[in-house]
Chains A and B, each alone.
Chain A
Amino acid sequence: MKKFTKIASLALTAVMAATCLAGCGAGSSTSGSASEDKKVIKIGGIGPLTGAAAIYGQAVKNGAEIALDEVNAKGDLKFELKFEDDENDAEKAVNAYNNLKDWGMQVSMGTVTTQPCIAVSAESNSDGMFALTPSASAPDVVKDKDFMFQMCFSDPNQGVASAKYIKEQNLGEKIAIIYNNSDVYSTGIYQKFTSEAQNQGLNVVCVKTFTDDSANDFTSQLNEIKAAGADLVYLPIYYTPASLILTQAKKMQYEPKFFGVDGMDGILTLEGFDKSLAEGVMLLTPFTADAQDEATKSFVKKYNEKYKETPNQFAADGYDVVNAIYEACKKAGITGDMTSEEIGKKLVDTFTSADFKIDGITGTGMTWSKDGEVSKEPKGMVIKNGAYVGM
């Protein structure tokens, strides 16, 4: 008898738990669609809001929210943005994507960081949902995916562009590289840079690596680079390790030219970093906060007012993504009562059409090819007196 009750209670609990789960899922999706205004187009964003990469996700979210307010104020189309946390983890990002689908997302902002974006873009592509990532830059993000587009340069483009730029401007005779070989972004740029450097006849004398776990001390790498006599150090890395490299190079009185990529953007706003160390550092970036055009000025002003800090490139990417989606939706005549598949098809057609151009704050005259990569010109910047100045 006891056995039966036990089994029965067990079975009942399992059934209850299962129905409970299913119930809450189904319940939330119906209530979501019923309570919302039919006209609203729902944009879903995913990025790291917690964890080590939180600064990027937060910046994109902030930038996108500013653009959203502007776009909604225009009144012809109404958008709603929901931003989910993925902790810079592919598994969590897919969970976040599924969550957003339950919420009723119709257009995706992809994800902020690369690895999660590769996982999520596979999902959104098979769902036929249009996605435009602000900052996931690896070529694998858009490769073989018709519905996936990028707002940032792809890594190979950056590597190639840097090598060309260094050659054209004749910035260095002997080049050394420090890159993070546990990072997709850094490795991707490094690989393309070295192959392009060979084409350009640049002399790479020393290549040093580090990993996320060993990003605290660079003295041994710097010593070897110094011994190799490099006069230009190429840093295809994010700004946190770059700031340490600059500090430690200064301490050992080694003063070559430093050349960075867009991940270096943000070094001037890093807390506790002595800006004078970054004097003369060059970097390629699509956005600078002190550019003098009207769009950038107004964006920086609004960002400052709302979040009390200077926007970095990620915030600008987020801003441009929402604006690009808005322009495309307007052009394609998209309304909020369409399904994500219908919107997806129309947006892809619009984005790849020849006459679709976006003037944003990360580039002017941006166009997209069928493979999803953006075409725009990188800007060479140099840090002078604690601010970016165009080269």
Chain B
Amino acid sequence: MNKTRKLSKFTLTNIKCYGMIIVAFAVLYPMLKMNMISNKISGLLIPICAYIVMAISLNLTVGFLGELSLGHAGFMSVGAFSGVITVACMQSGLPAPVKLLAAIIIGGIMAGILGLIIGIPVIRLKGDYLAIVTLAFGEIIKNIINCLYIGVDGSGLHFSMKSAEALNLSDGKIILNGPQGAVGVSKIATFFAGVLLILFALFVVLNLVNSKTGRAVTAIRDNRIAAESVGINITKYKLTAFIISAVIAGMAGALYGLNFSTIAAKKFDFNTSILILVFVVLGGMGNIPGTIIATTLLYMLPEMLRQFSDYRMLIYAIVLILVMLATNSPRAKVFANKIVGIFKKNNETDGEGDVSNG
């Protein structure tokens, strides 16, 4: 009994996170292969994977670093478009998993570079100011991609900010056509790759949080002045967390982009950033298992509500409000703790009830 009680919080979170993903995969994958899942659900699987990775990534910034980022969709967008361009430039003979891996890696790197560029000015700010600036950067990224034309032919990549004609392609193809976005993307994203990406993101974030760097990051969140006074380099640790978060978001973007035959920059606007923030807030700041569950449920909810047709989004909003109230009101918390306490008492004789750990 005592041995099991000593399981650290870290191990418990790990077991919960990995266990949840692996069990869900082990159940869903064979069913998917045997066509036992409806088209609706199987179509949702890959976007859910991408959004879970996005939410894990944003939770690093919002939950552990404690800074509100409202431009996270910008990183996703950069990852998505660099992933799509990577695949379009690669030889068609290569197997799809290799292409997908390359796209995800390059998507992550590009988003990371952007994270660094944005991070240097942004990370010097805090609180509301940082939120506004990230919001602005998200819009800038969207608008730049909106007027970017990229094509590929025998002599390599061509860029233009003017029009598709200005690319001067000699019998090549246009990859990114300004506001029309990328069209004719080869859909190579798979559910298996999505699950692997979630596991990778979990591995990075969970270990980071439990490392020296992670403790420094949470210390900055809890009390910036105290952290500074014990010699923690605030800018360095904040920037590290911000860039890692951007890299993971870029990877999620690449997975997302390669799941649809067309993507446009318009998709990655303020609303998408807020949507991911809602996943994180509902799942709990700094609570990774909660984030995974919240993302899955909230993403599926509007699709499950389709039978209500016109009232669908209204019901979605009401459910959202109720859930937020239920999870956050003190009374509901006391109630939930009581219920958890009853279960705990059944399991433990002493029942001293460190309920928040459950």
A residues contacting B by CB (< 8 A) are 1-3, 5-7, 10-11, 14-15, 17-19, 21-22, 24-26, 28-29, 49-50, 84-85, 89-92, 94-99, 101-102, 115, 118-119, 122-123, 138, 140, 143-144, 181-184, 187-188, 191, 195, 211-212
Chain B residues within 8 Å of A101, by CB: 39-40
A248 to B165 CA separation, bound complex (whole angstroms): 32
B40 with A90: CB separation less than 8 A? no
- Stretch from B24-32, B53-61, B199-207 at the A interface: B24-32
Given contacts A2-B347, A49-B310, contact A22 B41 (CB under 8 A): yes
Which residues of B (303-330) have their CB < 8 Å from a CB of A?
303, 306, 309-310, 312-313
Comparing B91-99, B114-122, B127-135, B178-186, the segment that makes contact with chain A is: B178-186
**Cβ contacts under 8 Å, A138 to chain B:** 180
> Of B1-9, B65-73, B223-231, which binds chain A?
B1-9
The verdict on A14 contacting B27 (CB below 8 Å), with A2-B347, A89-B267 known, is: yes
Complex-state Cα separation, A90 to B15, whole angstroms: 36
A140 to B179, CA, bound (A): 14
A3→B31 contact, CB < 8 A: no
B56 to chain A, nearest CB (A): 18
Closest to B22 in A: A14
Does chain A have a CB within 8 A of B124? no
Within 8 A of A (CB), among B162-181: 163-165, 178-181
26 A-B contacts (beta carbon < 8 Å): A2-B1, A3-B15, A10-B20, A10-B23, A11-B23, A18-B31, A22-B28, A26-B37, A90-B260, A91-B267, A94-B43, A95-B44, A101-B40, A102-B39, A102-B40, A115-B180, A115-B181, A115-B262, A115-B266, A119-B261, A122-B187, A138-B180, A140-B262, A184-B179, A211-B146, A212-B266
Max count, chain A CB within 10 A of own CB: residue among B24, B41, B262: B262
Report B's interface with A, CB cutoff 8 A: 1, 4-5, 7, 12, 15-16, 19-20, 23-24, 27-28, 31, 36-44, 47, 143, 146-147, 163-165, 178-181, 183-184, 187, 260-264, 266-267, 302-303, 306, 309-310, 312-313, 347-348
A interface SS class: helix
In the complex, what distance in Å separates the CA atom of A191 from the CA atom of B160? Answer: 15
CB-defined contacts of B263 to chain A, threshold 8 Å: 90
Would you call B4 and A2 a contact (CB within 8 A)?
A: yes
Chain A residues with CB under 8 A of B143: 211
Contacting residues, chain A, for B43 (C-beta < 8 A): 94-95, 97-98
Give min CB distance, A124 to chain B, whole Å: 11
Contact B306 A99 (CB under 8 A): yes
- Check B165–A99 contact: CB distance below 8 A: no
* Docked CA distance A125–B20 (Å): 35
Closest chain-A Cβ to B205's Cβ sits at a distance in Å of: 19
CB of A1 within 8 A of CB of B38, answer no
Contacts of A29 in B (CB 8 A): 38
Contact indicator A181/B347 (Cβ below 8 Å):
no
11 additional A-B pairs beyond A2-B5, A211-B146, beta carbons within 8 Å, are A1-B347, A6-B15, A7-B19, A10-B15, A22-B37, A26-B36, A85-B309, A122-B187, A144-B184, A181-B146, A182-B179
Per the bound structure, the CA–CA distance linking A92 and B16 in Å amounts to 30
Knowing A22-B31, A140-B183, A187-B179 are in contact, say whether A98-B42 is a contact too (CB < 8 A). yes
Chain A to chain B: the 3 pairs with minimum beta-carbon distance, closest first: A25-B38, A122-B261, A98-B43
Query: Within the complex, which residue of A15, A24, A143, A184 is in contact with B180, where a contact is CB–CB below 8 Å?
Result: A184
Q: Point out which of B39, B42, B184, B302 has the most chain A C-beta atoms below 10 A from its C-beta.
A: B39
Contact pick for B260, options A94, A98, A102, A140, CB 8 Å: A94
Asked if A14 meets B181 with Cβ closer than 8 Å, knowing A19-B27, A85-B312, the reply is no
Contact between A95 and B19, CB atoms less than 8 A apart:
no
Most interface-central of A5, A91, A92, A143 (chain B CB within 10 A) = A91
Kindly state the separation between the CA atoms of A92 and B312 in the bound complex, as whole angstroms: 13
A115 to B263, CA, bound (A): 8
Q: Is the CB of A191 within 8 A of B165?
A: yes
Q: Determine which of A6, A15, A85 lies in contact with B23 in the assembled complex, contact meaning CB atoms within 8 Å.
A: A15
Beta-carbon contact of A3 and B4 below 8 Å: yes
Q: Is the CB of A181 within 8 A of B23?
A: no
Q: Are B38 and A181 in contact (CB under 8 A)?
A: no
Please report the C-alpha to C-alpha distance between residue A379 and residue B223 in the assembled complex, in whole angstroms. Answer: 69
Give every chain B residue within 8 A of A19 (Cβ-Cβ): 27
- The distance from the CB of B114 to the nearest CB of chain A, in whole angstroms, is 21
Chain B neighbourhood of A191, CB < 8 A? 163-165
Contacts A11-B19, A184-B179 hold; do A84 and B306 have CB atoms under 8 A apart? yes
Asked if B262 contacts A90 (CB within 8 A), the reply is: yes
Give the docked Cα–Cα distance between A191 and B146 (Å).
16
- Of chain B, the residue at the smallest CB distance from A140 is B183
Provided the pairs A1-B4, A7-B15, A118-B262 are in contact, do residues A98 and B39 lie with their beta carbons within 8 angstroms?
yes
Of the candidates A96, A123, A182, the one having the most CB atoms from chain B within 10 angstroms of its own CB is A182
Query: Is there an interface contact between A95 and B23, defined as CB atoms closer than 8 Å?
Result: no
State in angstroms the CA–CA spacing of A188 and B178 once bound together. 11
Bound complex: CA A5 to CA B131 (Å): 42
Q: Which residue in chain B gives the minimum CB-CB distance to A182?
A: B179
Asked if A102 contacts B264 (CB within 8 A), the reply is: no
A22 to B38, CA, bound (A): 7
Task: Please report the C-alpha to C-alpha distance between residue A49 and residue B163 in the assembled complex, in whole angstroms.
Answer: 32
The minimal Cβ–Cβ distance linking B183 to chain A, given in whole angstroms, is 5
- Assess the B261–A25 pair: CB atoms within 8 A: no
Question: For the complex, what is the distance from the CA of A19 to the CA of B27, rounded to whole Å?
Answer: 8
